[in-house]
Chains A and B, each alone.
Chain A
Amino acid sequence: MTEERSAVVVRDIRKSYGELKAVDGVSFTVAEGEFFGILGPNGAGKTTTLEIVEGLRKPDSGEVRLLGESPWPRNVKLLPRIGVQLQATSFFDKLTAKEQLQTFGSLYGVSHGTAADMLELVGLADKANEQENKLSGGQRQRLSIACALVHDPDIVFLDEPTAALDPQARRNLWDVLRAIQERGKTIVYTTHYLDEAEILCDRVAIMDTGRILALDPPAVLVRGLDAPTHVTLQKGVLSVVDASALEGVDEAHEDEVSLTLSTRRPAPVLSALAERGALDGLQVRTATLEDVFLNLTGREYRA
């Protein structure tokens, strides 16, 4: 990927607060149209990284280029091309959803008609005349995202848009994020949900204590882990001894309810099981980003 076609280029940025190295040498590039995720537990340095990239904070050292330009000091030429949702939902007092969008739009010289389109996009058309403080958490997040998009920016930065939402609201928001990507936007977003990053992101940077530990498409990260696939069957369908003897099975063990086989070659194992008609209650669990995190840091992932 050449730098000319990169929407975001970050080179070795660092930021310390006293002794604390909030961001400790982070580098990455994001291609145009890419959905890029920064994944990490609280305090990993995601927000600090994002705000340096947006031009809200000055890094102690390192360099940032957005669409070929430096975002710091405040670069008015660049501002219309980036859309930002801050970690806190920032709204004007006492305005309705539509008025919020119109007001943010006017800061960019956008016509009022766009506000209605944006409400449609984030599924808030029926809440247009509702005051912002009367919306639910998920609706506020969606409105906040719409406010970041109202001026049709090329790059969108979203800081934990799905934090503190219930599972249904999170899933609704995923649809919104996918719709934004389909419009050809570059999305840089942070999350502490592993499953979500795995589903949404083209590439994901796993961050911890101010550093990027790994950066790849989620599938590559998981595959690179070379972790075994776990196949679970109902207890009694097959004995532990028979199971261990199957081709490709590394290990088999049984508890009160189920029999679990570990394998690095799931295909022959599954066909052998099918031949024996032993597919009752079959579940296959492959490695996830959680395993990747555990492998990288040596500790369980805790958001």
Chain B
Amino acid sequence: MNAFKTLSVAMLKGFLRDKVTLFFTFLFPLMFLVIFGLILRDVGADKTRIAVVGDGPIVSALRDSGALELEPYNDESSAVQKVKDGDLPAALIVRGQQLDVRFAQSDQVKSATVLGIINGFVDKANLAATGQPPTFTFAAEKVEDASLKPIQYLTPGILSWGVAVSAVFGSALTLVSWRRKQVLRRIRLAPVSTGSVLSSRILVSAGVALVQGVTFIGIASLPVFGLKLSGQWWLAIPLLLLGTVAFFALGMLVGAFAKTEEAASAAANIVVLPMAFLSGTFFPVDQAPAWLQTVSKIFPLRHMNDGMLDVLVRGKGIEALAMPAAILVGFSLVVGFVASRVFKWEE
């Protein structure tokens, strides 16, 4: 029986039978994805509602444009009452050709928006009534900008974070538990190379990362969350694998110093949590202050995250992988080398 294959199967079984690990690998990140996905779903999408009394061509044009949401009222006093209560920012009262707007003073930005929109429609109707062609024309077209809908940045971020957590904890806890239970020494007494033991464990982590990718992206793509993948999403696969190796190496380093599983777990958290927050797992880094963005560049997770965003939702091609891949490989080599220097077979 091939040692590499059997070891991989043994480690996979150990992984699948450990409910705590399964929870932190799949359910825990998914909880964040679902909760943030639902909370932030409507951010930037909500339209301003106003009260409307009466009807006419301007009101129809407003309704058709969808620029404002109109809430019809039968009489002026109840519509104005809504504004007074602070429930709605403005009330539009139509009396034939005359349009009155009563707006709340408290929210000036919203009121100005409402007034501007209504004014625009009135001007347009007036111009049309004169039968003159407009002197100035303008056309509006949507631009795909760098700021993304929440689910679009949450999914790549939480996926990278989930992969980092499971790789770091997987390698650190396995290493510490094997050293403490003398499995490492026992393996050393068998005619098998350290390489096959190590690579079989990395293989399991890599497989887990791919399953995480499929699960997280699958759930985020459900209509409730509405993730839209762009172009070459499959370029995320090499990133997942490189990220796994990098964070596995980090876990080996943590595991080399920790004496007990509890200590390894605490140390891994201390390393991973700040890194996750500063690398854009839960919010886009480009909204953070400049100095913080600079700091975040030292974290491999930041670069994995950037790469994930680029290939999953920003529609970038293979060229977007170069930088993150180079950094992850470099990180793996350096950290892996240090980890192998401080590695201990026994307590």
Which residues of chain B have C-beta atoms less than 8 A from A118's C-beta? none
Task: Let me know if A56 and B188 touch, CB within 8 A.
Answer: yes
- Pick the most buried of B3, B5, B17, B186: most chain A CB atoms within 10 A of its CB: B186
The stretch from A4-12, A72-80, A277-285 touching chain B is A72-80
In the complex the two chains form, what is the Cα distance from A133 to B215 in whole Å? 31
* B10 partner, pick from A79, A90, A92, A110, beta carbons under 8 A: A92
Which residues of chain A have C-beta atoms less than 8 A from B188's C-beta? 56, 74
Which residues of chain B have C-beta atoms less than 8 A from A82's C-beta? 189
Given contacts A84-B189, A93-B14, A94-B13, contact A109 B181 (CB under 8 A): no
Chain B 151-175 interface mask (CB, 8 Å, partner A; 1/0) = 0000000000000000000000010
Task: Let me know if B185 and A107 touch, CB within 8 A.
Answer: no
B177 is an interface residue with CB less than 8 A from chain A: yes
A91 is an interface residue with CB less than 8 A from chain B: yes
Chain B 181-219 interface mask (CB, 8 Å, partner A; 1/0) = 111011111111000000000000000000000000000
Which residues of chain B have C-beta atoms less than 8 A from A54's C-beta? 189
Which residues of chain B have C-beta atoms less than 8 A from A86's C-beta? 182, 185-186
* Interface of A: prevailing SS: loop
Task: Let me know if B191 and A92 touch, CB within 8 A.
Answer: no
Task: Let me know if A102 and B183 touch, CB within 8 A.
Answer: no
Task: Let me know if B186 and A106 touch, CB within 8 A.
Answer: no
B2 is an interface residue with CB less than 8 A from chain A: yes
- Pick the most buried of B5, B7, B10, B189: most chain A CB atoms within 10 A of its CB: B189
Task: Let me know if B185 and A56 touch, CB within 8 A.
Answer: yes
Which residues of chain A have C-beta atoms less than 8 A from B10's C-beta? 92, 95, 99, 102-103
In the complex the two chains form, what is the Cα distance from A236 to B185 in whole Å? 62
By beta carbon, the residue of chain B nearest A86 is B182
A129 is an interface residue with CB less than 8 A from chain B: no
Q: Which of B1-57 contact A (CB under 8 A)?
A: 1-3, 5-7, 10-11, 13-14, 17-18
Task: Let me know if B181 and A76 touch, CB within 8 A.
Answer: no
In the complex the two chains form, what is the Cα distance from A105 to B17 in whole Å? 21
A108 is an interface residue with CB less than 8 A from chain B: yes
In the complex the two chains form, what is the Cα distance from A107 to B193 in whole Å? 9
Q: Which of A59-102 contact B (CB under 8 A)?
A: 74, 76, 79-80, 82, 84, 86, 88-95, 99, 102
* B183 partner, pick from A90, A108, A109, beta carbons under 8 A: A90
- Pick the most buried of B2, B6, B185: most chain A CB atoms within 10 A of its CB: B6
Given contacts A99-B13, A103-B10, contact A91 B183 (CB under 8 A): yes
Which residues of chain A have C-beta atoms less than 8 A from B177's C-beta? 93
Given contacts A90-B181, A90-B182, A95-B10, contact A110 B189 (CB under 8 A): no
Which residues of chain B have C-beta atoms less than 8 A from A295's C-beta? none
* A92 partner, pick from B2, B5, B183, B185, beta carbons under 8 A: B183
Given contacts A88-B181, A99-B13, contact A106 B189 (CB under 8 A): no
A239 is an interface residue with CB less than 8 A from chain B: no
In the complex the two chains form, what is the Cα distance from A54 to B188 in whole Å? 11
Task: Let me know if B1 and A111 touch, CB within 8 A.
Answer: yes
Given contacts A74-B188, A86-B185, A93-B177, contact A106 B6 (CB under 8 A): yes
Task: Let me know if B191 and A103 touch, CB within 8 A.
Answer: no
In the complex the two chains form, what is the Cα distance from A80 to B190 in whole Å? 7
In the complex the two chains form, what is the Cα distance from A246 to B142 in whole Å? 120
A235 is an interface residue with CB less than 8 A from chain B: no
> What are 10 pairs between A and B in contact, CB < 8 Å?
A79-B191, A80-B191, A84-B186, A84-B189, A89-B181, A90-B186, A95-B10, A106-B1, A106-B5, A108-B192
A interface with B by C-beta (< 8 Å):
54-56, 74, 76, 79-80, 82, 84, 86, 88-95, 99, 102-112, 131, 147
Additional A-B contact list (11), CB under 8 Å, known A102-B1, A102-B10, A103-B10: A56-B185, A76-B191, A79-B189, A91-B181, A92-B10, A94-B13, A106-B2, A106-B3, A107-B190, A108-B191, A112-B1
CB-based closest 7 A-B pairs: A106-B6, A107-B190, A90-B182, A94-B17, A103-B10, A93-B14, A90-B186
